[in-house]
Every structure is written in C-alpha cells, then in structure tokens.
Structure 1
Amino acid sequence: MTQICLVRHGQTEWNLLGKLQGQTDIPLNETGKRQAEECREFLKKSEWDVLITTSLMRARRTADIINESLELPIVEMDHFKERHFGEGEGLSREEREKRYPDFIFPNMESYEELVDRVQVGLEEIHTQFPDRKVLLVAHGAVINAVLREFHQEKAVLEHVKLFNGCLTNLHFKSERWAVHSYNEVGHLSEHSKS
C-alpha cells in the first residue's frame, strides 16, 4: 500500500498577512522555519522512502529542513505546486473581497485544472513508488483539493482551515486514494500553530 504524508509548507510573511500567494515565490519566515523543524522532529520517528516537494521556495525550504535528519532522496514534482490565482495573488483578504467579491480572479487556474494535475501527480507517485512511504511537502489549495476529492465526509471539510506545518495522510488502497487523517498539528508547539 502506497502511503503519503502531505506536509503543508511552513509559514511565510504573506501567510501571516493573509495575502494570497498562489505561485508567487515567497520564502519562509522565522515561524515557518520553526514549523519545518518541528515537523522534522516528529517525522524522523518514522521510516520514509522518499521526500517530494515543489520548486516553490517555501515548499523546497520546508523539505530541506525536514530532510536534515531524514537524509532522503528529494524529488521535485510541480504537479503539486500551489494553485495559480492569477490577479488575486498578492492581495489581502480585504482587497480580494473588495475587488473580486465572487473570489474568481482573472487568469486564475480553474479548480478542475488543479485537480487534474494533482491526480496526475498522485498517479505518478503510485507508479514510481508503489508500496512506499512518501513525504510530500505541498500547498494549501493542493491539500484542500486532495481532501475534497478523496475524503469520505465532504461536509466536514467545509470550514477546515489548514495550518502551516499540518500533516495529512493518504493511503492507496483498493485501487483508490483514501484520506486517513488530515490537518494534524499535535507535533507543533502553540507558538507555531498558524
């Protein structure tokens, strides 16, 4: 059974300010680095086979910090890059609500396009790493898409805020992906929960 532990990247200044990042390449802030370190301390207690990340620096740096103890092969897969939010990127929630009250931004990647590329990436993981334990550092909209597509209790997900540094676990069983747990933050200190 292929298992994936999705790790949401650590916090950035834009996360802190409520700005929509999308594919804008923003680095981790100090809290984000601490979150990655706390993920590392928790994840090193288990055996993993590979660490996958995206090329966006907030995910790559989170992966590098986690990998300081694990020393796993790192693979970049941009199927799991954050959703492109077009002209919504860089705007605060207030600015987004004012300019785009329907939350549809010009030049935005559609939800269907996001899901399609994430599904391709998951298939690639299952094919390349069958029956392996995979760490995957990814992004909020990607993890939300995985939850919406594969979680059995979709109504539960309506009001879930994914924390930076949270863990979500997927298993490939009976020819399909299933969410085992999501938005786990027990490994994060109170100062790191954001």
Structure 2
Amino acid sequence: MTTICLVRHGETDWNVQGKIQGKTDIPLNAEGIKQAMRCAHGLTDANWDIIITSPLKRAKRTAELINETLQLPLMEMPQFEEKHFGDAEGMTYEERALTFPDRHYPNQEDNQLFAERLSSGLEIIHERFKNKRVLLVSHGGVINALLGTLSNGEIGSGKTRLLNTSFSHIQFDQTNWVIKNYNQVSHLEKEMSGT
C-alpha cells in the first residue's frame, strides 16, 4: 500500500503577517527552521523511503532540514508547488477581502488546472513509488486542495486551517486515495511542553 505523509512547510514571515504567498518564493523564518527540525524528530519512528518536495524555497528548505535527520533520497516535483494566487499574492486576508470581496483574484491559476496538476502528481507518485512510504513537503493550498478532493469537500480548502509542519496521511487503498488523518501536530506539542 502506497502511503504519503503530506507535510506543510515551516513558518515564514508572510505566514506570521497573514499574507497569501502562492508562487512568491518566501524563505522560512527562524521559527520555521525550528519547526522543520522538530518535524524530523516526529518522523524518525517510521520507515520512509523518499522525500518529495515542492521546488519553492519554504518547502524545499523544510525538506532539507527534515532530511538532515532522515537521510533519504530527495526529489523535487513542480506538480506540488503552491497555487498561483495572481494579484492577491502578498496581500493580507483583510487586504484581499477589501480589494477582492468576491474572492476572484485576477491572474490566478485556474482551479481546474490546479486540481489536474495535483492529480497528475499523485499518479506519478503512485506509479513510481508503489507500496512505498513517501514524505511529501508542500503547501497549505496544495494539501487543502488534496484533502478537499479526497473527502468530497468535507475537509480541506476553506474549511481546514493547516498548521505549519502539520502532518496529513493518505494511503492508496486498492482503487483510490483515502485520508487516514490530517493536520496532526503532536510532534510540535511534545517539543513545546519540553518532553
């Protein structure tokens, strides 16, 4: 059975400021680097086969920091880059609500094309890494879109606020992908409580 652990990248300054990032290539901040290192310790008790990452800095650096501990093959896949949010990139939630109250952002990536890009990425993983355990470091919009599709809209985009470096697990169950859990952050809580 193919298993994927979807890992959201660590925190950036734009996350703290509530700005939408999209394809804008923002690096991790100091807290994001710490989160990624904590993340690695939360992943050591399972036998992962490969790390796949979005090429954007915040995801790639998170993957690299995790891999300092896990020492796995690391591969970039552009299919899992964040959605391009067009003219809304760099705006806070309040600025977006004022400027685009209908939530239609000019020049953003088409939702259908975005969904197709993610679907093709999942197909590639399933074909190339059948019955493997894959860590996939990506973005909130990507993970929420995947969760939304796989849950028929019950969770995901517009409903679930994914925390930085949260884990969401999906498995290929004979004919389709199934969500096992999502937005898991116990690896961060242990570190915060000092245990």
TM-score, length of structure 1 as denominator length? 0.94
Who is 2:16 aligned against?
A: 16
Task: Measure the CA separation in 1 of the matches of 2:141 and 2:147.
Answer: 10
Amino acid of the structure 1 residue aligned with 2:178: A
Matched position secondary structure for 1:131: coil
The equivalent residue for 2:107 is 107
**Could you say which residue in structure 1 is the equivalent of 2:181?**
181
Q: Which residue of 2 aligns with 1:82?
A: 82
- Number of the residue aligned with 2:56: 56
Secondary structure of residue in 1 paired with 2:121? helix
Q: CA offset at residue 155 of structure 1? A: 3.2
Q: Could you tell which deviates more after superposition, 38-47 or 130-139? A: 38-47
Amino acid at match of 1:170: I
Q: Go from structure 1 to structure 2 and tell me whether the alpha carbon gap of 1:125 and 1:155 turns closer, same or farther (over 3 Å shift).
A: closer
CA distance in 1: counterparts of 2:190 and 2:33, whole angstroms: 15
Q: Which amino acid aligns with 1:61?
A: R
Structure 2 unaligned blocks of 5 or more? none
CA distance in 2: counterparts of 1:106 and 1:155, whole angstroms: 27
Residues 167, 183 of structure 2: 8 Å contact kept: yes
Between the aligned partners of 1:191 and 1:103, the Cα distance in structure 2 is 37
Give RMSD over aligned pairs. 1.4
- How many residue pairs are counted as aligned between the two chains? 191
Residue ranges of structure 1 left out of the alignment (5+ in a row): none
3-state SS of paired residue (2:165) = coil
State how 1:115-126 maps to structure 2 within 5 Å.
115-126=115-126
Q: Secondary structure at the match of 2:186?
A: coil
Q: How does 1:1-194 map to 2 (within 5 A)?
A: 1-151=1-151, 154-157=153-156, 159-189=159-189
TM-score (norm 2): 0.94
SS in 2 for 1:189: helix
Residue aligned with 1:135, SS: strand
Does the residue aligned with 1:149 lie in a helix, a strand or coil? helix
